[in-house]
Structure 1
Amino acid sequence: MKYVLLYTPADDVLARAPLHFPAHNARIDAFHGRGDILMVGTFGDPVTQGSMAIFPTREAAEEFVAGDPFVLEGVVRSYEIREWNEVLTD
């Protein structure tokens, strides 16, 4: 079981994201460095489709969201954490 975090962007994401991206990216790097985030990225059109990240545990996903500048500063309108049953791995 993995956990997928889905972000829905705020209406003014293009104005807000650049201001908070350095802190958001530092958080991604920190979580990745300790193995608590496996993958992260945007969809084809991040302004309308948002982004997602994959975590090994629900606790890691919840911890990430709780301190993510994109959430705290309103870069994302909403988020959802979903359980994901990974079937095929390397």
Structure 2
Amino acid sequence: MKYVMTYRAVEDFLPLAQQHGAAHVARLHEFHDRGVLLMVGTMAEPVDGEAMGVFTSREAAEEFIAGDPFVLHGVVAEWGVRAWDEVLAP
């Protein structure tokens, strides 16, 4: 079982995202280096501030969200965490 975190950004999110981007990316690397964040990325087409990440546990996803500069500084309007029953994996 994996846990999928989803983000939806506020309208006109780019200035805020640029302001807090370095700290957000540093947090991504921290969680990836710990082995609890497996992958993360933004949705393309359209570029509207939606993103997702795949975590090894709900606790890791919620810990990430609780301290993410994008959440703390209002880049993210809405987030969620859902269990994902992975069927086919490498």
TM-score, normalised on structure 2? 0.95
2:47: which partner in 1? 46
Checking the alignment, whether the CA contact within 8 Å between 1:10 and 1:76 is kept in structure 2 is yes
C-alpha deviation, 1:46, in angstroms: 3.3
- 1:23-62 to 2 correspondences below 5 Å: 23-44=23-44, 45-47=46-48, 50-62=50-62
1:67: which partner in 2? 67
Q: Where does the alignment leave 5 or more consecutive residues of structure 2 unmatched?
A: none
Checking the alignment, whether the CA contact within 8 Å between 1:9 and 1:46 is kept in structure 2 is no
Structure 1: distance between partners of 2:67 and 2:86: 26
C-alpha deviation, 1:25, in angstroms: 0.2
1:15: which partner in 2? 15
**What is the identity percentage for the equivalent residue pairs of Structure 1 and Structure 2?**
52
For residues 39-85 of structure 1, give each alpha carbon's deviation from its aligned partner in whole angstroms, at most 9, with x where no partner exists: 0000113325x000000000000000000000000001010101100
SS in 1 for 2:41: strand
Checking the alignment, whether the CA contact within 8 Å between 1:20 and 1:70 is kept in structure 2 is yes
Q: Where does the alignment leave 5 or more consecutive residues of structure 1 unmatched?
A: none
Structure 2: distance between partners of 1:24 and 1:42: 13
Structure 2: distance between partners of 1:75 and 1:32: 21
Alignment: residue pair count: 89
